[in-house]
C-alpha cells in the first residue's frame, strides 16, 4: 500500500485550512501558494474533501474553505480514504470486492487481514490536530 500524492497533499491542505481559517474561509489560491501545490491539483483534492463532508466551501469574494468540524474530530484514516479510497493492502480486501475465488484456501489471507487491521487502527488513532504542530509522537 502506498499513499498517493493526492492523499499526502490532502493532509497538508487540511492542516493549512485548520491553521489559517480563523473565523473565515481559506482561499484555495493562498493555501496552494503556502503549500507549494498546484492550484488546479488542489482544486481536485478540495472537491473530494467537500464531497466527503470534510470541508465547507464558499464561492465568491471572501470565499474559500473551512473545516466542517474541529481538527481533533478528523481521523487521518477518513482524510486519506476521502482522496485515496480504501487503505486495504491488497485488492481482495477492498470495500465492495467479492473476495478471491481462492479465499477459502489462501495461505496469505490472514496476513493481509492483519496488516489491514494495523493500517486501519494506526490511521484511525491519529487526528488532524495531532499533525498541526509539525508532527506527533510515534504511538506504536
Q: Is the pTM of this model over 0.95?
A: no
* Cβ atoms within 10 Å of 64's Cβ, excluding its own: 22
Q: Would you list the DSSP string of 69-133?
A: S-GGG-BHHHHHHHHH----SSGGGSTT----TTGGG-TTHHHHHHHHHHHHHHHHH-BHHHHHT
Q: Do 88 and 80 meet the contact criterion of CB atoms below 8 Å apart?
A: no
Residue 93 and residue 111 in contact, taking contact as beta carbons nearer than 8 Å: no
Place of cell 491542505: 13
pLDDT in tens, 82-111: 999 999 998 888 866 566 778 788 899 899
Tell me what the mean pLDDT of segment 53-78 comes to. Answer: 96
* 92-96, 112-116, 123-127: least confidently modelled range: 92-96
Q: What is the pLDDT of residue 139?
A: 59
Give the pLDDT confidence of 30-42 residue by residue, as tens digits. 999 999 999 999 9
Tell me the CA distances in angstroms from 101 to 1, 53, 96, 109, one per residue in order: 22, 35, 15, 12
Q: Indicate the angle between helix axes 39-51 and 76-84, nearest 10 degrees.
A: 110
What's phi and psi for 63, nearest 5 deg?
A: -85, 180
- In 10 A of CB 94, how many CB atoms? 13
Amino acid at each position: 500500500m502506498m499513499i498517493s500524492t493526492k492523499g499526502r497533499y490532502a493532509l497538508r491542505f487540511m492542516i493549512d485550512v485548520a491553521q489559517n481559517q480563523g473565523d473565515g474561509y481559506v482561499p484555495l489560491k493562498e493555501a496552494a501558494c503556502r503549500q507549494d501545490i498546484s492550484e488546479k491539483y488542489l482544486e481536485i483534492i478540495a472537491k473530494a474533501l467537500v464531497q466527503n463532508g470534510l470541508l465547507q466551501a464558499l464561492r465568491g469574494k471572501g470565499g474559500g474553505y473551512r473545516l466542517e468540524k474541529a481538527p481533533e474530530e478528523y481521523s487521518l484514516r477518513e482524510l486519506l480514504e476521502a482522496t485515496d479510497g480504501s487503505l486495504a493492502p491488497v485488492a481482495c480486501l477492498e470495500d465492495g470486492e467479492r473476495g478471491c475465488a481462492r479465499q477459502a484456501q489462501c495461505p496469505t489471507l490472514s496476513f493481509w487481514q492483519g496488516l489491514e487491521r494495523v493500517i486501519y487502527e494506526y490511521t484511525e488513532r491519529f487526528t488532524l490536530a495531532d499533525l498541526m504542530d509539525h508532527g506527533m509522537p510515534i504511538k506504536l
